[in-house]
Amino acid sequence: MIVPVDERNIAAAGAVHAASWRESHSFCTPEFVAAHTAETQAEYLRREMDAGKALFLLLDPEPVGVVSVQEDLIENLYVLPEKQGRGYGSALLEHAAARCPGTPRLWLLNINEKARRFYEARGFRETGERRELKNGLAELEMTRSRLTEIRRAEAESHTAAYESLELYAPGSWLSKPVKALGALLPLYAGRPGLRVLDLGSGVGRNAIACARELPGCSVECVDILPVAIEKLLKNAEKMGVGESVRGITAPVDGFEIERNRYDLILAASVLEHLDARASVVRKLREISAGIRPGGAVLIVMNTGVREWDRETGEPLPPQFEVNLPPEEVRTLLGDAFCGWEILWDRCIHYEYQVPRRDRTAVISAEVVTFTARRPQ
């Protein structure tokens, strides 16, 4: 459990900070190290809070570690020496990173290789910024990219959903395929040798519907999460379409779509998770080029996204790599599929909840749904 530090537990936070600081600063003189007592560090942490920094204490059930965060700056991450290597540091780091409105950053001593390895293993990289101290010491700045942050958060929320929800069970977003797909599939019923590509397939919400409604078709499913592909294949077997469904674990932005290969390409709630607007434009062109004459595309995209903490109402950075206005997305779709027959073009406001580490977030979005058929 991670709790805020206040006057009731600041002495415990000071004791943790002192013990860990002394262990990690053994290169200092014995006198200097000894001066960092539980009492002096509690006073130091009190000054940090007075300066506007939020301080947190990890309990399991006794005090184990501390961390502070102010805006995007993470500091004072310390775990008791005898408790290190058990995941407490990671929990504190992610707790602090989740409270950064922008890119999380921190500073570490240039000689602290242990800390450097810890942060690098968790996605942080040096920026090149350096603050000279004395005696050859310097502080180095490290940050974790927004892309890394977003994909970590999305991987966690999707994994939690996939592990707790059953495909097509009532009451969740996995309960049925995208509505526009139900209008699209009858147009292709009975055609032999159909090829379908589902980008960002998840556990098969749309792909399995294609395999069931279009007997004999081949459905290639791409998803970045191994757990999604694993459950997709299990779901396909369970629903009697295992021979029609192929799973591919790969990021959608790194998956190259072969020209004129597919009759249907689906991209539901995935293009907004590419790394940039330019990547969305490129992928739309790939999709257009990848569809055979007479084939169709189905795209669903979250746009104009806002996100906030369900309990406190605190605004949160939207966990979407690309967050475009709905008007711009519809323009991009019109450009990519110019001359095609538009079958479905709607924009509907949605609000839904997703787990985000130690909180539940509410997402508000204008969801664009678009289907179009290429001329013969």
pLDDT score of 224 = 87
Burial of 29 (C-beta count, 10 Å sphere; 0-12/13-18/19+): exposed
pLDDT score of 95 = 86
CATH of the domain at 46: 3.40.630.30
Q: Which domain holds residue 44?
A: 2-102
What is the average pLDDT score of the chain? 90
DSSP code string of 285-330? HHHHHHEEEEEEEEEEEEEEEEEEETTT--EE--S-S----HHHHH
Quote the DSSP letter at residue 92. Answer: H
- pTM metric for this prediction: 0.65
Residue 164, Cβ neighbours under 10 Å: how many? 9
pLDDT at 1 over 90: no
Sign of CA dihedral 32, 35, 41, 44: negative
Decide which of 110 and 263 is more confident: 263
Is 164 within a domain? Answer: yes
Domain identity same for 163 and 305: yes
Is 114 within a domain? Answer: no
Domain identity same for 94 and 172: no
Domain count, the chain: 2
pLDDT confidence of 137, banded at 50, 70, 90?
confident
Domain identity same for 254 and 161: yes
Domain identity same for 98 and 155: no
For residues 114 and 192, give the distance between their C-alpha atoms in angstroms, rounded to a whole number: 59
